[in-house]
Amino acid sequence: MIKLILGVLLWSIAHLLPAVAADFRQRVIAQRGEGVFKGAIALAIVASIALIIWGWKSTAPEFLYLPPIWGRHFAALLVLVAFILFSASHGNNNIRRFVRHPQLTGVIVWGLAHLLANGESRSIVLFGGLTLWALIEIVLINRRDGAWVKPGPAALKRDVIAVVAGLVVYLVFAFSHQWLFGVSPFA
């Protein structure tokens, strides 16, 4: 469990660093170059993913609560919404007019969906930890960037592209989830 916790913490720190330590970032870039800073962050993110996978696989699940019987099916719907939000974070579309941080909001929806469907300790650490990170990230980015200037209207086809892309990625993950993670989301 320690490796899983360390992985989630390292992921969070690597992603929060630009929002909380802009001065530190600028000093490193001035002294070592932007490539070194970006490389160090990328290395930390790769290491965090490795720790998360290693920690997940080496931790036996301990059930802390029993998810509701309808939790899995509702979670599947929420994950679809999360993937649409992920897709909406790229490019100009009308979803971005209503959701300031679609990718981070997607992480929150994805994490809450998994907490709704899973009641064991390692799920709480992983999905709860990433949900908490995304919430903190949104608050810090909003504080750093100030008032939200909403983008102007976009063509409807941009929304269709975001929804279809999210649906395609969702279907790929839904039907490969058993193979990738050992759990069928529709079982």
- Residues 99 and 85: beta-carbon distance below 8 Å: yes
pLDDT confidence band for 183 (50 / 70 / 90)? confident
User: At residue 81, does pLDDT exceed 90?
Assistant: yes
Name the DSSP class of 127: I
C-alpha span between 174 and 160 (Å, rounded): 20
State pLDDT tens for residues 50-63.
Answer: 999 999 999 999 99
Percent of the chain with pLDDT over 90: 84
Position 83, amino acid: F
User: At residue 18, does pLDDT exceed 90?
Assistant: no
pLDDT confidence band for 150 (50 / 70 / 90)? very high
State pLDDT tens for residues 82-108.
Answer: 999 999 999 899 999 999 999 999 999
Q: Which of 1, 7, 6, 9 lies closest to 132 in space, CA to CA? A: 9
User: At residue 142, does pLDDT exceed 80?
Assistant: yes
User: At residue 182, does pLDDT exceed 90?
Assistant: no
Q: What is residue 23's predicted lDDT score, i.e. its pLDDT?
A: 87
Q: What is the dihedral of CA 99, 104, 107, 111, to 10 degrees?
A: -90
Helix (H, G, I), strand (E, B) or coil at 66: coil
* N-term to C-term CA, the chain: 26
45: tokens are 């993110």
User: At residue 187, does pLDDT exceed 80?
Assistant: no
Q: Is 79 exposed, middle or buried (0-12, 13-18, 19+ CB in 10 A)?
A: buried
